[in-house]
Amino acid sequence: MDYKSIKVHNIGGILSKTFLHNPLTPIIAVFILLLGYIALTFMPREENPQMIVSGGNIIVSLPGATPQEVENVIVKPIERKMKEVLGVEHIQGIAREDVGIVNVMFYIGEDKEQSNLKMYDKMMQNLDILPRGASQPLIKPLDIDTDIPIYSIAFYSKDNKISQANLYEKVKHLQQKFNSIENIAQANIIGGHKKQFNVILDTNKLNRYNLTINDVKQALNAVVINAAQLKKARGNEIRIGSIKNVLQSINDVQNIIIPTPNRIVYLKDIATISDGVDFQNYKKAEINLKDKNLYPQVTLTLSKLKGSNAVVIADEVTKRLSQMRSELKKEGINYTITRNDGERANDAVTELMFHLLISVVIIILLLIFVLGWKEAMIVTFTIPAIFSITLFVAYLGDQTINRITLFAFLLSLGLLVDDAIVVVENIHRHFHKEDSKDKTNEEIMVEATDEIGASTNIATIAIILTMVPMAFVGQMMGQFMRPIPLNVPVAMAASLIIAYIFTPYFANKILKRGK
């Protein structure tokens, strides 16, 4: 009797009969392994899975207002309106002199684009709640993917060969270089002191020229286009930040013209001007090295675009740093890498992959003792094939390789071989049955696979259904553990298909019937 004429009752029998002598079967096997290799090569690697966190800041300025006034007329009205937005979990208002900031956080897992749109629409629909003189609201959405750095470099000078202001300018120059690296989202500077000019006005000289402090401010505003460069004045003291190609030396500041009706007055005629750095900046950053000395430092932080490979980006940054080392040394600048999430992610993934390999070896050894080495080899092939399919599906779904993804593989590893073991064990049993002596190997393969198909299908579906509830867990835990309900069901479904297609095929090639 030809095996093709055997009546099958479920998908197990159908697949085994279809692929038993199909010339495409080995090609499909190689193709599946190739897909897994592609996914493993190109999938971004991260230490932890990506989470959807939505929110943002609403910033409104009101020049001349006290913190109490800002709280009453800006912060509280905006807070009341933001509470009306569906999905908002937490609202925090900050009232400062001249400016109010309202931080809005949505529940974790809320769609980011929709949340940003709801926050923007609510604010724009209620501009009438703002007082006269208030600025247009600045809405800055939170982006956890780009706001959190993956790489940090602390630059410092041990021998004070370079001033703090020049160190800051050098790091600012490096910021542009690192920002050009592919998939770098942001390059930010933390700490350091900018170059600054301190202007102390002489009130007697102001009176002599019939000038006021406001006249001086207006003249400076005409030169200092960037408002951030003109520091807040206290009494008769004004601080000005250096401006490239405009104000770079004391002489540039001294020769600023203060317009008067009768004559030309220079700033040096009415003020004392000194060169320095912005020490009034309360953000002080120092680095503690092994020699137990503290050195002023400027930190450059780098964050990546969503979905990009942290390992590749970190390697490129490290490579460029190595190329700059000699140049920085000549200028008296040292650096140390204070954060490298790419290296940590690679180490974590590599360690878990090593343990995954150990688990596979242990399973192989157990199968050899229980089933025999030929049967064990057949079952062993299904493991990389299943992982290949699961990884490729995860790759198509924009997932990353991280600790939780690999934990999902470890969790399901013992379950993945169940289907193949059941199929190969039933084939082995049929080989040694008395009523199978007159049957061909092909008939036995199809009948044995079809026989256990229904029960194996139900058992696999039951395991898949146990993972489904985890997909509905909310908040941070649900986001963090999401790779498990996403990948384990795929792995289980793949194990079923692989067992039905390749186990009978390889069993027919490798196993011999007992005499």
pLDDT band at 407 (very low <50, low <70, confident <90, very high): confident
Q: What is the mean pLDDT of the chain?
A: 82
Same domain, 481 and 350: yes
Name the percent of the chain lying above pLDDT 90. 23
Same domain, 385 and 502: yes
202-230 residue pLDDT tens = 778 878 888 887 777 777 777 765 434 44
Q: Are strands 138-141 and 151-156 parallel, antiparallel or unpaired?
A: unpaired
Name the percent of the chain lying above pLDDT 70. 90
Q: Choose among 335, 337, 279, 339: nearest CA to 162.
A: 335
Point out the domain boundary residue: 237, 255, 277: 277
Same domain, 371 and 479: yes
Look at residue 247 and tell me whether its pLDDT is greater than 90. no
* Predicted TM-score of the model (pTM): 0.71
Indicate the range of 75-79, 329-333, 348-352, 497-501 predicted with least confidence: 348-352
Polymer length of the chain:
515
Higher pLDDT, 59 or 307: 59
Residue 157 lies in a domain: no
Of the ranges 106-115, 120-129, 421-430, the best mean pLDDT one: 120-129
Point out the domain boundary residue: 219, 252, 277: 277
- Under 8 Å CB-to-CB from 143, ≥6 apart: which residues? 112
Look at residue 322 and tell me whether its pLDDT is greater than 80. yes
Indicate the range of 195-199, 235-239, 350-354 predicted with least confidence: 235-239
Residue 297 lies in a domain: no
CA distance 20 to 22: 6
Point out the domain boundary residue: 226, 256, 277: 277
Averaged over 147-167, what is the pLDDT? 82
Residue 91: in which H helix or E strand, if any? Answer: strand 88-96
What is the CATH classification number for the domain harbouring 254? 3.30.2090.10
Averaged over 346-366, what is the pLDDT? 81
Same domain, 351 and 492: yes
The whole-angstrom distance between residue 486's C-alpha and the CA centroid of its chain comes to 19
pLDDT of residue 515: 53
Same domain, 354 and 423: yes
Averaged over 291-301, what is the pLDDT? 76
Same domain, 30 and 63: no
266-281 residue pLDDT tens = 888 888 877 766 544 4
Look at residue 257 and tell me whether its pLDDT is greater than 90. no
Three-class SS of residue 337? strand
Q: How many domains does the chain fold into?
A: 3
Residue 253 lies in a domain: yes
Three-class SS of residue 293? coil
Same domain, 409 and 498: yes
In contact, 172 and 190? CB cutoff 8 Å: no
Take residue 462 and report the two structure tokens written for it.
Answer: 């039951």
pLDDT of residue 288: 53
Same domain, 434 and 402: yes
Residue 317 lies in a domain: no
Same domain, 492 and 409: yes
pLDDT of residue 105: 92
Residue 322 lies in a domain: no
Of the ranges 76-90, 146-160, 301-315, the best mean pLDDT one: 76-90
Percentages helix, strand, coil for the chain (3-state, rounded to 5) are 55, 20, 25
Same domain, 17 and 75: no
Same domain, 401 and 443: yes
150 φ, ψ (degrees, to nearest 5): -110, -10
pLDDT of residue 234: 53
Higher pLDDT, 93 or 10: 93
- Under 8 Å CB-to-CB from 176, ≥6 apart: which residues? 187
Residue 490 lies in a domain: yes
Residue 202 lies in a domain: yes
Same domain, 378 and 473: yes
Averaged over 307-336, what is the pLDDT? 88
CA distance 179 to 182: 8
Q: Choose among 408, 421, 406, 426: nearest CA to 464.
A: 408
pLDDT of residue 28: 94
Look at residue 350 and tell me whether its pLDDT is greater than 90. no
Range of the domain at 72: 55-141
pLDDT of residue 227: 39
Residue 313 lies in a domain: no
CA distance 315 to 428: 51
What is the CATH classification number for the domain harbouring 137? 3.30.70.1430
What is the CATH classification number for the domain harbouring 360? 1.20.1640.10
